[in-house]
Amino acid sequence: MIHARGLAATFVTGKGKNRREVRAVDGVDLDIAEGEVVGFLGPNGAGKTTTLRMLTTLLRPTAGTATVNGFDVATQSVQVRRSIGYVSQAGSTFSQALAGDEVTDHGQLYGMNRRDAVRRGKELFDQLQLEGLWDRMPKNMSGGQRRRLDIAMGLIHDPTLVFLDEPTTGLDPQARANLWEHIAKLRTDRGATVFLTTHYLDEADALSDRIMIIDNGTIVAADTPENLKSQVSGDLLHLEFAAAEPVSRAAAQLESLGATEVSVDGFGVRARLRGSAKVVPGLLRELEAGGNTLEEIEIKRPTLDDVFLTLTGRSLRDAEAGSDDKEGSDEIPA
């Protein structure tokens, strides 16, 4: 469905001695199979949107190659565009037209006749919980409704591959959860392949079969959410005892089981342990057999933020806080 090799985009900003090159995407390889939902995760400015714009032919790569649905993004942009759905970060609705007209016009842009576009648009309004909003202007809709309208526009011509750029940014938690359901249905109900960018860890985790993490224009990891979490960092284990005596024994036992970051604090022991579900029951049995009373046990599964931290040495949230704003410059691929 999508194959890219060495995809790169360099922007030139400023003039004269202020001239600067920004390597927004720096040699990305991608292989996305039919029916996959792939989450493209990374902090602000990591290169997500730029990659997406190259794959959707909105931006010509500075280097590298990519095919989408079998079409070359550099030489067959018309075929690529006709075969995909694209929902941009900014949305594609003009506020002065009625929602139904926008969707219908969009279908006609893709070569549909008006009757088919209206029929298909109404079907999508039903599926995306936009019933009754056909004659409403998008500017009078809620953020979640507008985002669902954007998705209806992206789906009007029935694409099998859908690109969503930060679909839930700016929505409240309820509207986000609602949109997640609709995104999940793109695959389950329509068999679509979905490529979505996000900087929300929970969103990538909840929706994706596979996650690709991009940082500074380079892919730093690509795997299922579960594999990423289990390979990169262990579960965080916290055992709390009723007395001090068993604490050091438990710590030694954890170390012998391969735990890392083992630390003792009062009557408690903390450690990171891979595959704790398999190891902890035996450990508890041994501790109990030795007459050690456990007051509390807590096991925290690693999050994607732990994964990002292990890979880059920064938390995704810190990376977000420290990221540059967009340059907003002339868009000149170098």
- Give the interface with ligand ATP as residue ranges (CB under 6 A): 11, 13, 22, 24, 42, 44-50, 199, 324, 326-327, 329, 331
Q: Is 222 helix (H, G, I), strand (E, B) or coil?
A: strand
Say which DSSP state 325 is in.
P
Could you tell me where the DSSP H helices lie in the chain? Answer: 48-55, 77-83, 99-109, 114-127, 143-155, 173-188, 201-207, 225-232, 245-256, 276-289, 304-312, 316-322
Residue 42 or 107: the one with the smaller Cβ distance to ligand ATP is 42
CB of 214 to ligand ATP, least distance (A): 7
Residue 88 or 145: the one with the smaller Cβ distance to ligand ATP is 88
CB of 200 to ligand ATP, least distance (A): 10
Q: Strands 268-273, 235-241: parallel, antiparallel or unpaired by DSSP?
A: antiparallel
CB of 149 to ligand ATP, least distance (A): 21
CB of 80 to ligand ATP, least distance (A): 19
CB of 41 to ligand ATP, least distance (A): 9
CB of 241 to ligand ATP, least distance (A): 45
> Is residue 39 within 8 Å of residue 46, measured between CB atoms?
no
Residue 218 or 230: the one with the smaller Cβ distance to ligand ATP is 218
Residue 13 or 79: the one with the smaller Cβ distance to ligand ATP is 13
Q: Could you tell me the end-to-end alpha-carbon distance of the chain, in angstroms, rounded to an integer?
A: 28
Residue 245 or 330: the one with the smaller Cβ distance to ligand ATP is 330
Residue 21 or 172: the one with the smaller Cβ distance to ligand ATP is 21
Which of 42, 31, 29, 19 is closest to 204 using CA atoms?
42
Which of 25, 29, 40 is closest to 5 using CA atoms?
29
Which of 52, 96, 116, 2 is closest to 106 using CA atoms?
116
> Is residue 159 within 8 Å of residue 111, measured between CB atoms?
no
Token pair of 268 as six digits:
């408690």
